[in-house]
Amino acid sequence: MMNKLPDKDIMYKALVEKDSKFEGIFFVGVKTTGIFCRPTCRARKPKRGNVEFYRTTKESLLHGYRPCKICDPMGYDGESPGWLKPVLSIMEKENGVKLKDHDLREMGIDPNRVRRWFKKHHGMTFQAYLRTLRISEAFGRIKHGEKVIDAAYDSGYESLSGFSETFRKTTGFSPKKSSEKNIILINRILSPLGPMLAGATEEGICLLEFIDRRMLETQLKRIKKYFKSDLVPGESKYFPQLNSELREYFEGKRKDFSVPLAIAGTDFQKRVWKVLMDIPYGETRSYMDQAIAIGNPKAVRAVAGANGDNAIGIIIPCHRVIGSDGRLVGYGGGLWRKKFLLDLETN
Residues in Cβ contact with 214 at an 8 Å cutoff, skipping those fewer than 6 apart: 332
Known catalytic residues?
Answer: 318
The answer to whether 206 touches 200, Cβ cutoff 8 Å, is yes
Nearest-angstrom CA–CA distance, 140 and 135: 9
Q: What are the C-alpha distances in Å from 218 to residues 3, 209, 273, 310, 337?
A: 29, 11, 18, 11, 20
Q: Which residues of 270-309 are buried (b: 16+ CB within 10 A; e: fewer)?
A: ebbbebbeebeeeebbbbebbbbbbeeeebbebbbebbeb
Nearest-angstrom CA–CA distance, 245 and 125: 28
Q: What are the C-alpha distances in Å from 330 to residues 157, 234, 321?
A: 49, 32, 9
What is the DSSP secondary-structure string of 39-86?
A: TT--SPPPPGGGEEEESSHHHHHHTTPEEPTTT-TTS-TTPPPGGGHH
Helices then strands, counting H and E runs in the chain, come out as: 14, 10
**Beta-carbon count within 10 A of 171 CB:** 23
